[in-house]
Chain A
Amino acid sequence: MTSSPPAVLAESGRAGGVSRRARPAGALGRHGLRLVRWISPVALLLIWQVVGEFGLISPKKLPPLTTVWQAALEVAGNGQLGTGLAVSLRRMLIGFAIGALIGAALGVFAGLRRWTDAAVDPVMQMIRNVPLFGLIPLLILWFGIGELPKLVLIALAAGLPIYVNVHAGIRGADPHLVEATSALGYTRWQRIRHVVLPGALPYTLVGVRLGVASAWLALVVAETIATDSGIGFMINNARDFLRTDIVIVGLVIYAVVGLLMDTLVRAIERWLLRWRVS
Protein backbone atom coordinates (compact mmCIF):
# COMPACT_ATOMS: atom_id res chain seq x y z
CA MET A 1 0.00 0.00 0.00
CA THR A 2 1.42 3.39 -0.88
CA SER A 3 -0.59 5.91 1.08
CA SER A 4 2.43 7.64 2.46
CA PRO A 5 2.08 10.85 4.45
CA PRO A 6 1.87 13.86 2.20
CA ALA A 7 4.85 15.99 1.47
CA VAL A 8 4.09 19.45 2.70
CA LEU A 9 3.41 21.62 -0.30
CA ALA A 10 4.45 24.81 1.32
CA GLU A 11 2.75 28.01 0.35
CA SER A 12 3.73 31.21 2.03
CA GLY A 13 2.78 31.24 5.66
CA ARG A 14 4.12 29.93 8.89
CA ALA A 15 2.46 26.58 9.44
CA GLY A 16 5.06 24.57 7.55
CA GLY A 17 4.33 21.31 9.29
CA VAL A 18 7.92 20.80 10.32
CA SER A 19 8.09 18.29 13.10
CA ARG A 20 10.74 18.56 15.76
CA ARG A 21 13.05 15.60 15.79
CA ALA A 22 13.33 13.95 19.13
CA ARG A 23 16.81 14.43 20.42
CA PRO A 24 18.29 12.85 23.51
CA ALA A 25 17.42 15.04 26.46
CA GLY A 26 20.94 14.97 27.88
CA ALA A 27 21.83 15.85 31.44
CA LEU A 28 18.80 18.06 32.01
CA GLY A 29 16.17 15.41 31.40
CA ARG A 30 12.85 15.98 29.72
CA HIS A 31 11.36 18.18 32.43
CA GLY A 32 14.54 20.18 32.81
CA LEU A 33 14.51 20.96 29.11
CA ARG A 34 10.89 22.06 29.29
CA LEU A 35 11.80 24.52 32.04
CA VAL A 36 14.77 25.84 30.11
CA ARG A 37 12.52 26.56 27.15
CA TRP A 38 10.70 29.10 29.31
CA ILE A 39 13.85 31.00 30.28
CA SER A 40 14.38 33.11 27.18
CA PRO A 41 10.76 34.29 26.66
CA VAL A 42 10.36 35.16 30.33
CA ALA A 43 13.71 36.94 30.34
CA LEU A 44 12.66 38.94 27.28
CA LEU A 45 9.43 40.05 28.98
CA LEU A 46 11.36 41.00 32.13
CA ILE A 47 13.83 43.08 30.14
CA TRP A 48 10.90 44.75 28.37
CA GLN A 49 9.35 45.65 31.72
CA VAL A 50 12.62 46.91 33.21
CA VAL A 51 13.46 48.99 30.15
CA GLY A 52 10.05 50.68 30.32
CA GLU A 53 10.14 51.06 34.09
CA PHE A 54 13.46 52.93 34.08
CA GLY A 55 12.55 55.02 31.05
CA LEU A 56 15.44 53.65 28.96
CA ILE A 57 13.08 53.71 25.98
CA SER A 58 10.32 56.28 25.75
CA PRO A 59 6.95 54.79 26.77
CA LYS A 60 5.55 56.34 23.58
CA LYS A 61 7.71 53.82 21.69
CA LEU A 62 7.60 50.86 24.04
CA PRO A 63 5.32 51.12 27.07
CA PRO A 64 6.14 48.72 29.92
CA LEU A 65 4.28 45.44 30.15
CA THR A 66 2.13 46.59 33.02
CA THR A 67 0.87 49.54 30.94
CA VAL A 68 0.04 47.19 28.07
CA TRP A 69 -1.87 45.02 30.51
CA GLN A 70 -3.80 48.09 31.73
CA ALA A 71 -4.57 48.96 28.10
CA ALA A 72 -5.81 45.42 27.52
CA LEU A 73 -8.19 45.74 30.47
CA GLU A 74 -9.26 49.15 29.17
CA VAL A 75 -10.19 47.99 25.64
CA ALA A 76 -11.76 44.86 27.03
CA GLY A 77 -13.79 46.96 29.45
CA ASN A 78 -15.08 49.57 26.99
CA GLY A 79 -16.10 46.94 24.44
CA GLN A 80 -13.57 47.98 21.77
CA LEU A 81 -11.82 44.63 21.96
CA GLY A 82 -14.97 42.53 21.91
CA THR A 83 -16.61 44.23 18.94
CA GLY A 84 -13.31 44.48 17.06
CA LEU A 85 -12.55 40.80 17.57
CA ALA A 86 -16.08 39.81 16.56
CA VAL A 87 -15.81 41.79 13.33
CA SER A 88 -12.36 40.40 12.49
CA LEU A 89 -13.36 36.82 13.25
CA ARG A 90 -16.49 37.18 11.16
CA ARG A 91 -14.43 38.45 8.23
CA MET A 92 -12.01 35.61 8.64
CA LEU A 93 -14.76 33.03 8.85
CA ILE A 94 -16.68 34.23 5.80
CA GLY A 95 -13.60 34.84 3.67
CA PHE A 96 -12.04 31.54 4.66
CA ALA A 97 -15.24 29.57 4.09
CA ILE A 98 -15.73 31.00 0.61
CA GLY A 99 -12.09 30.51 -0.34
CA ALA A 100 -11.87 27.02 1.14
CA LEU A 101 -15.04 25.83 -0.58
CA ILE A 102 -14.06 27.18 -3.97
CA GLY A 103 -10.45 26.01 -3.60
CA ALA A 104 -11.46 22.52 -2.51
CA ALA A 105 -14.14 22.21 -5.20
CA LEU A 106 -11.71 23.28 -7.93
CA GLY A 107 -9.04 20.99 -6.51
CA VAL A 108 -11.39 18.00 -6.63
CA PHE A 109 -12.67 18.92 -10.08
CA ALA A 110 -9.18 19.38 -11.51
CA GLY A 111 -7.86 16.27 -9.78
CA LEU A 112 -10.43 13.79 -11.01
CA ARG A 113 -9.75 13.81 -14.74
CA ARG A 114 -6.92 14.66 -17.05
CA TRP A 115 -9.00 17.06 -19.13
CA THR A 116 -10.40 18.89 -16.11
CA ASP A 117 -6.86 19.26 -14.87
CA ALA A 118 -5.81 20.74 -18.19
CA ALA A 119 -8.79 23.09 -18.05
CA VAL A 120 -8.36 24.40 -14.51
CA ASP A 121 -4.78 24.01 -13.37
CA PRO A 122 -2.95 26.45 -15.68
CA VAL A 123 -5.19 29.34 -14.58
CA MET A 124 -4.77 28.43 -10.93
CA GLN A 125 -1.00 28.30 -11.33
CA MET A 126 -1.11 31.75 -12.94
CA ILE A 127 -3.10 33.21 -10.06
CA ARG A 128 -0.91 31.41 -7.55
CA ASN A 129 2.17 33.10 -8.91
CA VAL A 130 0.80 36.62 -8.54
CA PRO A 131 1.99 37.98 -5.21
CA LEU A 132 -1.20 38.07 -3.18
CA PHE A 133 -0.72 41.44 -1.49
CA GLY A 134 0.30 42.98 -4.78
CA LEU A 135 -3.33 42.53 -5.75
CA ILE A 136 -4.55 44.99 -3.13
CA PRO A 137 -4.53 48.12 -5.35
CA LEU A 138 -6.42 46.21 -8.02
CA LEU A 139 -8.94 44.88 -5.49
CA ILE A 140 -9.52 48.41 -4.21
CA LEU A 141 -10.05 49.69 -7.76
CA TRP A 142 -12.50 46.88 -8.46
CA PHE A 143 -14.37 46.60 -5.18
CA GLY A 144 -13.74 49.88 -3.36
CA ILE A 145 -12.60 49.94 0.26
CA GLY A 146 -15.55 48.22 1.93
CA GLU A 147 -15.85 44.63 3.13
CA LEU A 148 -15.72 43.01 -0.29
CA PRO A 149 -12.05 43.53 -1.20
CA LYS A 150 -11.05 42.25 2.26
CA LEU A 151 -13.16 39.12 1.86
CA VAL A 152 -11.77 38.53 -1.63
CA LEU A 153 -8.21 38.84 -0.36
CA ILE A 154 -8.85 36.47 2.54
CA ALA A 155 -10.67 34.01 0.28
CA LEU A 156 -7.78 34.01 -2.19
CA ALA A 157 -5.28 33.51 0.60
CA ALA A 158 -7.25 30.55 1.96
CA GLY A 159 -8.33 29.06 -1.33
CA LEU A 160 -5.00 28.79 -3.15
CA PRO A 161 -3.10 26.53 -0.74
CA ILE A 162 -6.23 24.45 -0.26
CA TYR A 163 -6.64 24.10 -4.02
CA VAL A 164 -3.01 23.05 -4.47
CA ASN A 165 -3.11 20.42 -1.74
CA VAL A 166 -6.54 18.98 -2.53
CA HIS A 167 -5.50 18.73 -6.17
CA ALA A 168 -2.30 16.93 -5.25
CA GLY A 169 -4.20 14.63 -2.88
CA ILE A 170 -6.78 13.65 -5.48
CA ARG A 171 -4.18 13.07 -8.15
CA GLY A 172 -2.17 11.00 -5.72
CA ALA A 173 -5.00 8.52 -5.13
CA ASP A 174 -3.48 5.10 -4.55
CA PRO A 175 -3.90 3.27 -7.90
CA HIS A 176 -3.83 -0.10 -6.13
CA LEU A 177 -6.85 0.82 -4.04
CA VAL A 178 -8.68 2.30 -7.01
CA GLU A 179 -8.04 -0.87 -8.99
CA ALA A 180 -8.97 -3.20 -6.14
CA THR A 181 -12.25 -1.43 -5.49
CA SER A 182 -13.15 -1.44 -9.19
CA ALA A 183 -12.59 -5.19 -9.24
CA LEU A 184 -14.73 -5.52 -6.11
CA GLY A 185 -17.68 -3.80 -7.75
CA TYR A 186 -17.65 -0.29 -6.28
CA THR A 187 -19.60 2.18 -8.37
CA ARG A 188 -17.74 5.26 -9.60
CA TRP A 189 -19.40 7.38 -6.92
CA GLN A 190 -18.51 4.88 -4.19
CA ARG A 191 -14.93 4.91 -5.42
CA ILE A 192 -14.75 8.69 -5.22
CA ARG A 193 -16.43 8.82 -1.85
CA HIS A 194 -14.62 5.97 -0.10
CA VAL A 195 -11.28 5.80 -1.89
CA VAL A 196 -10.30 9.02 -3.62
CA LEU A 197 -11.64 11.67 -1.25
CA PRO A 198 -10.53 10.05 2.03
CA GLY A 199 -7.17 9.36 0.41
CA ALA A 200 -6.81 13.07 -0.30
CA LEU A 201 -7.67 14.02 3.28
CA PRO A 202 -4.13 14.16 4.70
CA TYR A 203 -3.09 16.56 1.93
CA THR A 204 -6.31 18.52 2.27
CA LEU A 205 -5.67 19.11 5.96
CA VAL A 206 -2.17 20.35 5.25
CA GLY A 207 -3.81 22.77 2.80
CA VAL A 208 -6.34 23.85 5.40
CA ARG A 209 -3.63 24.59 7.94
CA LEU A 210 -1.65 26.62 5.42
CA GLY A 211 -4.88 28.29 4.31
CA VAL A 212 -5.85 29.32 7.82
CA ALA A 213 -2.44 30.85 8.48
CA SER A 214 -2.37 32.58 5.13
CA ALA A 215 -5.95 33.89 5.42
CA TRP A 216 -5.29 35.27 8.89
CA LEU A 217 -2.25 37.08 7.54
CA ALA A 218 -4.37 38.48 4.70
CA LEU A 219 -6.91 39.69 7.23
CA VAL A 220 -4.23 41.54 9.18
CA VAL A 221 -2.89 43.17 6.03
CA ALA A 222 -6.36 44.07 4.75
CA GLU A 223 -7.33 45.59 8.07
CA THR A 224 -4.13 47.58 8.30
CA ILE A 225 -4.68 49.26 4.95
CA ALA A 226 -8.20 50.60 5.26
CA THR A 227 -10.93 49.71 7.67
CA ASP A 228 -13.52 51.20 9.98
CA SER A 229 -14.03 48.16 12.18
CA GLY A 230 -12.20 45.13 13.52
CA ILE A 231 -8.99 44.62 15.43
CA GLY A 232 -7.12 46.40 12.63
CA PHE A 233 -9.34 49.44 13.14
CA MET A 234 -8.60 49.38 16.85
CA ILE A 235 -4.89 49.33 16.08
CA ASN A 236 -5.04 52.08 13.47
CA ASN A 237 -7.13 54.22 15.75
CA ALA A 238 -4.69 53.73 18.60
CA ARG A 239 -1.81 54.69 16.31
CA ASP A 240 -3.55 58.00 15.51
CA PHE A 241 -3.80 58.74 19.24
CA LEU A 242 -0.25 57.53 19.87
CA ARG A 243 -1.54 54.73 22.09
CA THR A 244 1.34 52.33 21.52
CA ASP A 245 0.05 50.16 24.37
CA ILE A 246 -3.23 49.45 22.55
CA VAL A 247 -1.33 48.78 19.30
CA ILE A 248 0.61 46.10 21.14
CA VAL A 249 -2.58 44.68 22.64
CA GLY A 250 -3.99 44.37 19.11
CA LEU A 251 -0.86 42.59 17.87
CA VAL A 252 -0.96 40.16 20.76
CA ILE A 253 -4.62 39.44 20.02
CA TYR A 254 -3.75 38.74 16.37
CA ALA A 255 -1.00 36.37 17.44
CA VAL A 256 -3.03 34.55 20.07
CA VAL A 257 -6.06 34.08 17.82
CA GLY A 258 -3.81 32.85 15.00
CA LEU A 259 -2.22 30.34 17.35
CA LEU A 260 -5.60 29.18 18.66
CA MET A 261 -6.90 28.61 15.16
CA ASP A 262 -3.85 26.58 14.26
CA THR A 263 -4.30 24.51 17.42
CA LEU A 264 -7.94 23.94 16.56
CA VAL A 265 -7.11 22.78 13.03
CA ARG A 266 -4.46 20.42 14.39
CA ALA A 267 -6.97 18.94 16.81
CA ILE A 268 -9.47 18.42 13.99
CA GLU A 269 -6.70 16.87 11.91
CA ARG A 270 -5.76 14.43 14.67
CA TRP A 271 -9.36 13.31 14.93
CA LEU A 272 -9.99 12.99 11.21
CA LEU A 273 -6.76 11.05 10.66
CA ARG A 274 -7.17 8.76 13.67
CA TRP A 275 -7.02 5.77 11.31
CA ARG A 276 -3.34 6.50 10.83
CA VAL A 277 -2.43 4.48 13.90
CA SER A 278 1.02 3.08 13.40
Chain B
Amino acid sequence: MTETTARTETAWIRGLVKEFGPRRVLDGLDLVVRRGEFVALLGRSGSGKSTLLRVLAGLDHDIEGETSTHGRVSVAFQQPRLLPWRRVWHNITLGVDTPEPRETARQALDEVGLADRMDAWPRTLSGGEAQRVSLARALVRRPDLLLLDEPFGALDALTRMSMHRLVTRLWQAHRPAVLMVTHDVDEALALADRVLVLADGRIAAEHVLPRARPRKAAENAGLRVRVLSDLGVEGVDDHEGA
Protein backbone atom coordinates (compact mmCIF):
# COMPACT_ATOMS: atom_id res chain seq x y z
CA MET B 1 0.00 0.00 0.00
CA THR B 2 1.30 3.45 -0.89
CA GLU B 3 1.64 6.49 1.31
CA THR B 4 -1.18 8.41 -0.30
CA THR B 5 -3.75 5.69 0.13
CA ALA B 6 -2.63 5.19 3.70
CA ARG B 7 -3.81 8.68 4.52
CA THR B 8 -7.33 8.28 3.26
CA GLU B 9 -8.03 4.66 4.09
CA THR B 10 -8.60 3.80 7.70
CA ALA B 11 -9.39 0.15 7.05
CA TRP B 12 -8.44 -1.87 4.05
CA ILE B 13 -9.31 -5.49 3.35
CA ARG B 14 -8.53 -7.60 0.33
CA GLY B 15 -9.50 -11.20 -0.35
CA LEU B 16 -10.55 -11.96 3.21
CA VAL B 17 -11.47 -15.59 3.74
CA LYS B 18 -12.77 -16.96 7.02
CA GLU B 19 -13.85 -20.53 7.49
CA PHE B 20 -15.60 -22.17 10.39
CA GLY B 21 -14.95 -25.84 9.74
CA PRO B 22 -16.36 -26.62 6.30
CA ARG B 23 -18.37 -23.40 6.20
CA ARG B 24 -16.85 -20.45 4.37
CA VAL B 25 -18.38 -17.42 6.06
CA LEU B 26 -16.27 -14.78 4.32
CA ASP B 27 -15.21 -15.66 0.82
CA GLY B 28 -12.75 -13.25 -0.77
CA LEU B 29 -14.21 -10.10 0.71
CA ASP B 30 -12.86 -6.68 -0.29
CA LEU B 31 -13.60 -3.58 1.76
CA VAL B 32 -12.28 -0.07 2.19
CA VAL B 33 -13.35 2.34 4.93
CA ARG B 34 -12.12 5.86 4.29
CA ARG B 35 -11.05 8.28 6.95
CA GLY B 36 -13.98 9.83 8.81
CA GLU B 37 -16.76 8.11 6.88
CA PHE B 38 -19.70 6.33 8.42
CA VAL B 39 -20.26 2.93 6.87
CA ALA B 40 -23.13 0.63 7.72
CA LEU B 41 -22.79 -3.06 7.03
CA LEU B 42 -26.05 -4.89 6.53
CA GLY B 43 -26.59 -8.57 6.16
CA ARG B 44 -28.90 -11.37 7.17
CA SER B 45 -28.05 -13.18 10.36
CA GLY B 46 -25.18 -15.58 9.84
CA SER B 47 -23.89 -13.60 6.87
CA GLY B 48 -20.57 -12.97 8.61
CA LYS B 49 -20.98 -9.29 9.51
CA SER B 50 -19.87 -9.76 13.09
CA THR B 51 -17.04 -12.02 11.98
CA LEU B 52 -15.75 -9.26 9.73
CA LEU B 53 -15.93 -6.81 12.61
CA ARG B 54 -14.04 -9.17 14.89
CA VAL B 55 -11.28 -9.44 12.32
CA LEU B 56 -10.96 -5.66 12.16
CA ALA B 57 -11.00 -5.47 15.97
CA GLY B 58 -8.01 -7.80 16.03
CA LEU B 59 -9.95 -10.50 17.84
CA ASP B 60 -9.67 -13.11 15.10
CA HIS B 61 -6.30 -13.88 13.55
CA ASP B 62 -7.19 -17.23 12.05
CA ILE B 63 -7.90 -15.82 8.58
CA GLU B 64 -6.64 -15.70 5.02
CA GLY B 65 -6.27 -12.49 3.01
CA GLU B 66 -4.87 -9.06 3.70
CA THR B 67 -6.23 -6.64 6.22
CA SER B 68 -4.81 -3.45 7.61
CA THR B 69 -6.10 -0.70 9.83
CA HIS B 70 -4.53 2.67 10.41
CA GLY B 71 -4.55 4.34 13.79
CA ARG B 72 -6.42 3.31 16.88
CA VAL B 73 -9.33 0.93 16.73
CA SER B 74 -12.10 0.83 19.29
CA VAL B 75 -15.27 -1.21 19.67
CA ALA B 76 -18.75 -1.02 21.15
CA PHE B 77 -20.62 -4.30 21.29
CA GLN B 78 -24.30 -5.20 21.19
CA GLN B 79 -24.15 -5.97 24.90
CA PRO B 80 -22.36 -3.12 26.68
CA ARG B 81 -19.88 -5.54 28.29
CA LEU B 82 -19.00 -3.27 31.19
CA LEU B 83 -17.05 -4.72 34.10
CA PRO B 84 -19.75 -5.06 36.77
CA TRP B 85 -17.20 -4.83 39.59
CA ARG B 86 -15.74 -1.50 38.51
CA ARG B 87 -17.58 1.77 38.90
CA VAL B 88 -18.79 3.51 35.75
CA TRP B 89 -15.95 6.06 35.58
CA HIS B 90 -13.37 3.34 36.09
CA ASN B 91 -14.90 1.32 33.26
CA ILE B 92 -14.38 4.30 30.96
CA THR B 93 -10.70 4.88 31.63
CA LEU B 94 -9.31 1.44 32.45
CA GLY B 95 -6.77 0.53 29.80
CA VAL B 96 -6.34 4.17 28.78
CA ASP B 97 -3.12 5.99 29.51
CA THR B 98 -4.28 9.26 31.02
CA PRO B 99 -2.83 11.35 33.85
CA GLU B 100 -6.19 12.21 35.39
CA PRO B 101 -8.48 9.28 34.73
CA ARG B 102 -11.41 10.60 36.75
CA GLU B 103 -11.43 13.91 34.92
CA THR B 104 -11.07 12.16 31.57
CA ALA B 105 -13.99 9.91 32.47
CA ARG B 106 -16.08 12.89 33.55
CA GLN B 107 -15.62 14.59 30.18
CA ALA B 108 -16.39 11.41 28.27
CA LEU B 109 -19.51 10.75 30.34
CA ASP B 110 -20.60 14.36 29.99
CA GLU B 111 -20.68 13.88 26.23
CA VAL B 112 -23.19 11.06 26.56
CA GLY B 113 -25.15 12.88 29.28
CA LEU B 114 -24.18 10.60 32.14
CA ALA B 115 -21.77 12.70 34.18
CA ASP B 116 -23.98 12.22 37.23
CA ARG B 117 -23.59 8.43 37.08
CA MET B 118 -19.78 8.48 37.41
CA ASP B 119 -19.73 6.49 40.64
CA ALA B 120 -22.62 4.15 39.89
CA TRP B 121 -22.17 0.40 39.62
CA PRO B 122 -22.84 -0.76 36.03
CA ARG B 123 -25.61 -3.11 37.14
CA THR B 124 -27.65 -0.14 38.36
CA LEU B 125 -27.76 1.38 34.86
CA SER B 126 -30.62 0.96 32.42
CA GLY B 127 -29.91 -0.73 29.09
CA GLY B 128 -29.71 2.61 27.28
CA GLU B 129 -27.45 4.13 29.93
CA ALA B 130 -25.10 1.13 29.86
CA GLN B 131 -24.89 1.40 26.09
CA ARG B 132 -24.05 5.11 26.37
CA VAL B 133 -21.29 4.27 28.83
CA SER B 134 -20.04 1.67 26.36
CA LEU B 135 -19.97 4.36 23.64
CA ALA B 136 -18.13 6.77 25.92
CA ARG B 137 -15.64 4.02 26.73
CA ALA B 138 -15.03 3.42 23.03
CA LEU B 139 -14.68 7.13 22.22
CA VAL B 140 -12.41 8.05 25.12
CA ARG B 141 -9.78 5.99 23.31
CA ARG B 142 -9.87 8.58 20.49
CA PRO B 143 -10.29 5.92 17.82
CA ASP B 144 -9.55 6.47 14.16
CA LEU B 145 -11.79 3.53 13.46
CA LEU B 146 -14.85 2.91 15.60
CA LEU B 147 -16.43 -0.51 15.22
CA LEU B 148 -20.06 -0.80 16.30
CA ASP B 149 -21.46 -4.32 16.51
CA GLU B 150 -25.24 -3.95 16.45
CA PRO B 151 -24.88 -1.46 19.27
CA PHE B 152 -28.58 -0.67 19.58
CA GLY B 153 -30.00 -4.12 18.83
CA ALA B 154 -30.95 -4.80 22.43
CA LEU B 155 -32.62 -1.44 23.08
CA ASP B 156 -36.26 -0.48 22.84
CA ALA B 157 -37.39 1.59 19.84
CA LEU B 158 -37.57 4.95 21.65
CA THR B 159 -34.16 4.57 23.28
CA ARG B 160 -32.77 3.50 19.95
CA MET B 161 -33.99 6.70 18.28
CA SER B 162 -32.27 8.91 20.85
CA MET B 163 -29.15 6.76 20.56
CA HIS B 164 -29.14 7.41 16.80
CA ARG B 165 -29.09 11.14 17.44
CA LEU B 166 -26.36 10.72 20.03
CA VAL B 167 -24.15 8.62 17.76
CA THR B 168 -24.54 11.09 14.91
CA ARG B 169 -23.57 13.96 17.23
CA LEU B 170 -20.56 12.10 18.64
CA TRP B 171 -19.43 11.08 15.18
CA GLN B 172 -19.67 14.68 13.96
CA ALA B 173 -17.69 15.88 16.98
CA HIS B 174 -14.89 13.30 16.83
CA ARG B 175 -14.95 12.22 13.18
CA PRO B 176 -13.70 8.70 13.52
CA ALA B 177 -14.32 6.35 10.63
CA VAL B 178 -17.23 4.17 11.71
CA LEU B 179 -18.07 0.67 10.61
CA MET B 180 -21.42 -0.26 12.05
CA VAL B 181 -22.83 -3.72 11.74
CA THR B 182 -26.59 -3.85 11.88
CA HIS B 183 -29.53 -5.80 10.58
CA ASP B 184 -31.80 -2.79 10.78
CA VAL B 185 -32.13 -1.20 7.34
CA ASP B 186 -33.71 1.97 8.70
CA GLU B 187 -30.89 2.39 11.19
CA ALA B 188 -28.34 2.05 8.41
CA LEU B 189 -30.17 4.59 6.25
CA ALA B 190 -30.51 7.04 9.11
CA LEU B 191 -26.85 7.02 10.13
CA ALA B 192 -24.49 6.02 7.36
CA ASP B 193 -22.77 7.72 4.43
CA ARG B 194 -22.51 4.43 2.70
CA VAL B 195 -24.52 1.24 3.13
CA LEU B 196 -22.94 -2.09 2.26
CA VAL B 197 -24.80 -5.36 1.98
CA LEU B 198 -22.93 -8.52 2.86
CA ALA B 199 -24.08 -11.69 1.14
CA ASP B 200 -22.38 -14.95 0.22
CA GLY B 201 -19.22 -13.89 2.00
CA ARG B 202 -18.68 -10.70 -0.01
CA ILE B 203 -19.92 -7.15 -0.30
CA ALA B 204 -22.83 -7.78 -2.64
CA ALA B 205 -24.15 -4.22 -2.94
CA GLU B 206 -23.17 -0.68 -2.09
CA HIS B 207 -25.38 2.40 -1.76
CA VAL B 208 -24.11 5.92 -1.19
CA LEU B 209 -26.38 8.32 0.68
CA PRO B 210 -26.58 12.08 0.54
CA ARG B 211 -24.52 13.60 3.32
CA ALA B 212 -27.26 15.81 4.75
CA ARG B 213 -28.35 15.10 8.31
CA PRO B 214 -30.69 14.73 10.12
CA ARG B 215 -32.51 12.55 7.68
CA LYS B 216 -36.17 11.85 7.27
CA ALA B 217 -37.15 8.27 6.59
CA ALA B 218 -39.27 9.35 3.62
CA GLU B 219 -36.27 10.76 1.76
CA ASN B 220 -34.75 7.34 1.45
CA ALA B 221 -37.86 5.29 0.83
CA GLY B 222 -36.75 4.27 -2.66
CA LEU B 223 -33.31 3.29 -1.46
CA ARG B 224 -34.89 1.32 1.37
CA VAL B 225 -36.72 -0.88 -1.13
CA ARG B 226 -33.52 -1.49 -3.07
CA VAL B 227 -31.51 -2.38 0.03
CA LEU B 228 -34.23 -4.73 1.20
CA SER B 229 -34.22 -6.38 -2.19
CA ASP B 230 -30.42 -6.74 -1.90
CA LEU B 231 -31.09 -8.56 1.35
CA GLY B 232 -33.52 -10.85 -0.39
CA VAL B 233 -36.69 -9.26 0.96
CA GLU B 234 -39.04 -8.66 -1.97
CA GLY B 235 -42.46 -7.13 -2.36
CA VAL B 236 -42.03 -4.23 0.05
CA ASP B 237 -43.65 -1.12 -1.38
CA ASP B 238 -42.47 2.41 -0.78
CA HIS B 239 -45.19 3.45 1.61
CA GLU B 240 -44.64 0.74 4.17
CA GLY B 241 -41.50 2.17 5.68
CA ALA B 242 -42.21 5.85 5.22
Interface residues of A (CB under 8 A from B): 1, 3, 176-177, 179-187, 190, 194-195, 198-199, 201, 274-278
Q: Shortest distance in angstroms between A148's beta carbon and chain B's nearest beta carbon?
A: 39
- The distance in angstroms between the C-alpha atoms of A182 and B60, with both chains bound, is 11
Stretch at the interface among B8-16, B71-79, B175-183, B205-213: B71-79
Interface string of B72-96 (1 = CB under 8 A from A): 1111010101011110000000111
Interface residues of B (CB under 8 A from A): 57-59, 72-75, 77, 79, 81, 83-86, 94-96, 121-124, 137-138, 141, 147
Nearest B residue (CB) for A177: B81
- The distance in angstroms between the C-alpha atoms of A278 and B122, with both chains bound, is 10
- The distance in angstroms between the C-alpha atoms of A195 and B81, with both chains bound, is 11
Nearest A residue (CB) for B140: A184
* A194-B83 contact in complex given A180-B75, A186-B95, C-beta closer than 8 Å: yes
**B147 — which chain A residues lie within 8 A by C-beta?**
183
* A183-B95 contact in complex given A177-B81, A177-B83, A277-B123, C-beta closer than 8 Å: no
Nearest A residue (CB) for B80: A1
**A201 — which chain B residues lie within 8 A by C-beta?**
85
- The distance in angstroms between the C-alpha atoms of A17 and B58, with both chains bound, is 41
**B79 — which chain A residues lie within 8 A by C-beta?**
1, 176
Nearest A residue (CB) for B121: A275
A181 partner, pick from B73, B95, B123, B124, beta carbons under 8 A: B95
- The distance in angstroms between the C-alpha atoms of A103 and B172, with both chains bound, is 53
Nearest B residue (CB) for A273: B85
- The list of the 6 closest CB pairs from A to B, nearest first, reads A180-B81, A186-B95, A198-B85, A183-B75, A183-B57, A275-B121
Nearest B residue (CB) for A201: B85
Nearest B residue (CB) for A193: B94
A184 partner, pick from B85, B122, B137, beta carbons under 8 A: B137
Is the pair A276, B84 in contact by a Cβ cutoff of 8 Å?
yes
Is the pair A194, B86 in contact by a Cβ cutoff of 8 Å?
yes
A275 partner, pick from B59, B75, B84, B94, beta carbons under 8 A: B84
**B95 — which chain A residues lie within 8 A by C-beta?**
181, 184-187, 190
Nearest B residue (CB) for A179: B59
Is the pair A277, B121 in contact by a Cβ cutoff of 8 Å?
yes
Is the pair A180, B77 in contact by a Cβ cutoff of 8 Å?
yes
23 A-B contact pairs sorted by A residue (CB < 8 Å): A1-B79, A1-B84, A176-B77, A177-B81, A177-B83, A179-B59, A180-B81, A181-B83, A182-B58, A183-B75, A183-B147, A184-B74, A184-B75, A184-B138, A184-B141, A185-B141, A186-B94, A190-B94, A190-B95, A195-B83, A198-B85, A275-B84, A275-B121
Nearest B residue (CB) for A198: B85
Nearest A residue (CB) for B91: A194
**A185 — which chain B residues lie within 8 A by C-beta?**
72, 74, 95-96, 141
Nearest A residue (CB) for B75: A183
Q: Shortest distance in angstroms between B159's beta carbon and chain A's nearest beta carbon?
A: 18
Is the pair B85, A275 in contact by a Cβ cutoff of 8 Å?
yes
Nearest B residue (CB) for A202: B85
- The distance in angstroms between the C-alpha atoms of A198 and B87, with both chains bound, is 13
Q: Shortest distance in angstroms between B53's beta carbon and chain A's nearest beta carbon?
A: 10
- The distance in angstroms between the C-alpha atoms of A194 and B73, with both chains bound, is 21
Residue in A180, A201, A274, A277 with the greatest tally of chain B CB atoms within 10 Å: A180
- The distance in angstroms between the C-alpha atoms of A186 and B122, with both chains bound, is 19
**A181 — which chain B residues lie within 8 A by C-beta?**
83, 94-95
* A277-B124 contact in complex given A1-B84, A186-B95, A194-B86, C-beta closer than 8 Å: yes
- The distance in angstroms between the C-alpha atoms of A274 and B73, with both chains bound, is 33
- The distance in angstroms between the C-alpha atoms of A194 and B59, with both chains bound, is 19
- The distance in angstroms between the C-alpha atoms of A194 and B124, with both chains bound, is 19
- The distance in angstroms between the C-alpha atoms of A1 and B80, with both chains bound, is 8
Nearest A residue (CB) for B94: A194
- The distance in angstroms between the C-alpha atoms of A276 and B83, with both chains bound, is 11
A183 partner, pick from B59, B84, B94, B124, beta carbons under 8 A: B59
Is the pair A278, B123 in contact by a Cβ cutoff of 8 Å?
yes
- The distance in angstroms between the C-alpha atoms of A187 and B3, with both chains bound, is 30
Beyond A177-B83, A185-B95, A276-B84, list 16 extra A-B contacts (CB 8 Å): A1-B81, A1-B84, A3-B84, A177-B81, A183-B74, A184-B137, A185-B74, A186-B94, A186-B95, A190-B94, A198-B85, A199-B85, A275-B85, A275-B121, A276-B123, A277-B124
